[in-house]
Amino acid sequence: MEKYDASQIQILEGLKAVRKVPGMYIGSTDERGLHHLVYEVVDNSIDESVAGFCKNIYITLQKDGWICIEDDGRGIPVDMHPEYNRPALEIVLTELHSGAKFDKKVYKITGGLHGVGVHVVNALSERLAALVKRGNKIFYETFSRGVPDGGLVEIAADDIKKQNDPAVSGVDVKLSAESGLIIRFKADPEIFSETQFSYRTILARMRELAFLNPQVTINLKDEISNNADTLHYDGGITEFVKYLGEGYNSVHREPLHCSEETEDAQVEFALQYTTSTSEILQSYVNNINTVDGGTHVAGFRAGLSRAISDYAKNKDMIKGIDSIAGEDAREGLVAVLHVKIREPQFEGQTKAKLGNAPVRGIVQSITEKYMKDYFSTYPNVADQIVRRVIQAAMAREASRKAKDLVRRKSALDSGGLPGKLADCSTSDPEKAEVFIVEGNSAGGTAKQARNREFQAILPLRGKILNVEKANDLKTLGNQEIRNLITILGTNIKENLDISKLRYHKIIIMTDADVDGAHIRTLLLTFFYRYAREIISGGNVYFAQPPLFRIQKGDKVEYVYTEAEKDQILSRLGGNAVVQRFKGLGEMNPAQLWETTMNPETRKLAQVTIEDAAEADRLFSILMGEKVEPRRRFIEENAAAVTNIDL
């Protein structure tokens, strides 16, 4: 550009800015961002429920990428705005930072003012219809990529199916309430790489909201697969704790539950101690999952530790250990913390961490007082909990030396790296990748196939320890896990430093069979429990080796599924030679490089944590102590996972 002056400055009016940089508003334009649209609409319904006006929400996944969300709240106003001379419904759907949540007169508790709402959903939808019910009448307006089609329309409630616009005629009213809101939209394929909503993904988030809001019933249906779930939990977060800890043996029979309200905050938590060596703590602020914690979590942990430590000292139970640390009070804990405040201040665009400083003191005071009162009232339960915590403290002190042995070496110093590691030559972690390979045979092939400049190979000897059933002492005594921790370079748990990660791509490469899937699960359990930030940082991947090699004449194709194999054989006709790869070791180095390791041709599946609560529960069920929940899960999901393509 030859000149840079005032003529180069642009003002993107209305919703144009949202369509120009959608990632700024919803995080991404992949499946995660797609489902964020649904959550934004449902969050408005939840706000209506918290305010006392909505009892039912219906979510229907329809054909051709449509989704319809209905509630029996008050609905968005449809009268003309006195200042802007436009229907309030149209303003809310088209103007950024518009709505009734700014002065706290209509909604006292909301998810925070962050500029993302139904108007952003409208901007990123190919089509959207907003319908407001008022008795026997329906007021609706439709939009195309955020632009109003023709203004507000008033019809009789029974005449929806008679409308010419398919965005409206496709609405199926579920509720017979006097008032309500229906948002039906179709994500814009110009924006999103995927526009078909996932029932399982939405179900996980809706279940979470139903636990947090026992006053509401959420009905979810998929018209394509005919799946349907009604979510309502009278027990609220107490039932949530039982759900999360389903795979563990509990130390005491029932979860503890506290609900207190001050002038500045509503604090609710439920907790239960188990024999697990991990902590599950799900924290929320105004129904928003604060996956990175924040001041409310710090206050809860401090209050819990103080109450337990004081009780142990008063009962003279601290024997054989120096003291009770915070991590001891959290081992085996399954807890849900939900705080509601008027002006939440979140750190970062993703709202993953609460920053309100006064909240820490409020939550700590309430937690400490409740726990001390409970302990004095139920000393038998208190003794069970404190004995569990002291057991954790003894294990912690015994494992201190083991932890010291695996503290990371310098990223540039491979002198302390395990001998089985075939390291790469680059010292740039952003370029470096390590393949964790099943067995010495496949490891040997991978070492021959790799690009030595940026690809490292770590062969595993058999299956690593299931860390879900082991404490730190046993885990860190396992040689394979110690090798893994050493090559990562980050240390683990509370000492983890993601900036010291030696390889920015950690690629799990196992056989495409049951044993390979089990090894992947064991490795994911280790990463999730000991180095979760490496997963959330997007550094863990699955390699996707092919199942078949098909050759006809000089033409060779590699195939990843049975269905794909059948399609190719049908296209090629007869005389094709099919080779089934039973394991990575059956490939020669050239084949392994071409299909699975070459960045130009390979397929990688990135491991993400879409729903931390559901991930915690699944790890506890699949890798935990109890057999019956695992058997039940397999029986219920066997058909659904038979053809999963990792």
Find where tokens 């993400």 sit: 608
Average pLDDT in the chain:
87
Structure tokens belonging to residue 565: 């194999």
- Confirm if 463 and 436 have CB atoms less than 8 A apart: no
Q: Which helix (H) or strand (E) holds 551?
A: strand 548-552
Of residues 221 and 479, more confidently modeled? 221
Lowest mean pLDDT of 57-66, 221-230, 617-626, name the range: 617-626
Marked catalytic residue, from 368, 438, 468, 611: 438
- Confirm if 460 and 441 have CB atoms less than 8 A apart: no
- Confirm if 182 and 131 have CB atoms less than 8 A apart: yes
- In angstroms, how far is the first alpha carbon of the chain from the final one? 46
The reported pLDDT for the residue numbered 395 is 81
646: pLDDT strictly greater than 70: no
The reported pLDDT for the residue numbered 211 is 97
Of residues 63 and 402, more confidently modeled? 63
Structure tokens belonging to residue 612: 């931390």
Q: For residue 53, what are the CA distances in angstroms to 47, 107, 178, 179, 522?
A: 9, 11, 12, 10, 46
Structure tokens belonging to residue 105: 């007169």
Marked catalytic residue, from 511, 594, 614, 616: 511
Judged by DSSP in three states, 580 sits in strand
368: pLDDT strictly greater than 90: yes
For 288-307, the pLDDT digits (tens) are 888 889 999 999 999 999 99
Distance (Å, whole) CA 71 – CA 53: 10
The reported pLDDT for the residue numbered 11 is 46
Whether residue 328 lies in the annotated active site: no
Nearest Cα residue to 397 out of 332, 328, 475: 328
83: pLDDT strictly greater than 50: yes
The reported pLDDT for the residue numbered 105 is 52
Whether residue 616 lies in the annotated active site: no
Contacts of 611 (CB under 8 A, 6+ apart): 201, 204, 205, 208
Find where tokens 């915070």 sit: 326
The reported pLDDT for the residue numbered 219 is 97
Letter string b/e over residues 349-373, b meaning 16 or more CB atoms within 10 A of that residue's CB: eebbbbebeebbebbbbbbbebbbe
For 547-569, the pLDDT digits (tens) are 888 998 888 888 888 888 888 99
Structure tokens belonging to residue 299: 């206050």
Marked catalytic residue, from 343, 413, 513, 645: 513
Q: For residue 392, what are the CA distances in angstroms to 131, 197, 280, 306, 328?
A: 56, 43, 15, 16, 5
Marked catalytic residue, from 95, 149, 239, 515: 515
- Confirm if 240 and 336 have CB atoms less than 8 A apart: yes
**Residue 73: which pLDDT band, with cuts at 50, 70 and 90?**
very high
For 534-543, the pLDDT digits (tens) are 998 899 999 9
Q: For residue 119, what are the CA distances in angstroms to 48, 186, 203, 444?
A: 17, 14, 24, 55
- Report pTM: 0.77
At 325, the amino acid letter reads: A
**Residue 575: which pLDDT band, with cuts at 50, 70 and 90?**
confident
Whether residue 438 lies in the annotated active site: yes
For 463-492, the pLDDT digits (tens) are 899 998 888 878 888 889 989 999 999 988
Whether residue 79 lies in the annotated active site: no
Helices (H) and strands (E) in the chain, counts: 21, 22
For 613-644, the pLDDT digits (tens) are 788 888 888 888 888 888 888 887 765 544 33
> Among the residues of 214-259, which ranges form H helices?
237-244
User: Which letter does DSSP use for residue 149 in this model?
Assistant: S
The reported pLDDT for the residue numbered 109 is 56
At 361, the amino acid letter reads: G
Distance (Å, whole) CA 46 – CA 341: 15
582: pLDDT strictly greater than 80: no
